[in-house]
Structure 1
Amino acid sequence: MADGKVDKGKRVEIVNDDEPDEWDKRIFSTGCAVENAKMTDCYYEKKDWRVCKKEMEAFRECWKRNGNVQRTEERRI
């Protein structure tokens, strides 16, 4: 509450979900989860991708280094 009082009538249930979801599994499989987290954290804090060029470049280099370009490129039949 804004005035410092606590509303005892409301209960907040906190769910402790340590299991990785599909997004987490995909990011971890790239080998670039740390770089991805730094990049998204930067954007969350700054709200401007232009300020996060260093983090974006680190993610891009990790992506290439781990062979994700070839793994995820479009395949034509």
Structure 2
Amino acid sequence: MSNAESDRKPDDGAEDDDEPDEWDKRIFSTGCSEENTKLNDCFYEKKDWRACKDEMEAFKQCWKRQGNDDRTEAKDA
């Protein structure tokens, strides 16, 4: 590999990963980003949503506390 090749950064399509993307902005706007992170981390670790019932419930309660049902016109299933 030449020096020019080794000096290049891999092009993974992410210019600046520190900037929040549209998904992050939407999650932050719900007021439940911490609960969302815990839920996603649980699923990542356990690979089974059923093993993350406590995290899911915490997210649902936060969602309701923040008034997101009204804001997003979501209905409780």
Same fold (TM over 0.5): yes
Which structure 1 residue ranges, 5 or more long, are not aligned? 1-8
Which structure 2 residue ranges, 5 or more long, are not aligned? none
Shift of 1:31: 0.2
Other-structure match for 2:59: 59
Other-structure match for 2:48: 48
Q: What is the aligned-residue RMSD (CA, Å)? A: 2.0
Aligned residues between the structures: 66
Shift of 1:16: 4.9
Post-superposition Cα deviations, 1:30-70, rounded to whole Å, max 9, x if no partner, equal 00000000001000000001100000000000000000000
Pairing 1:6-21 to 2, within 5 Å after superposition: 13=10, 16-21=16-21
Counterpart Cα distance in 1 of 2:28 and 2:54: 21
Normalised TM-score (structure 2): 0.75
2:42 is paired with a residue whose SS is: helix
Counterpart Cα distance in 1 of 2:51 and 2:17: 32
Other-structure match for 2:27: 27
Shift of 1:12: 5.8
Normalised TM-score (structure 1): 0.75
Counterpart Cα distance in 1 of 2:38 and 2:9: 29
Percent identity among equivalent residues? 68
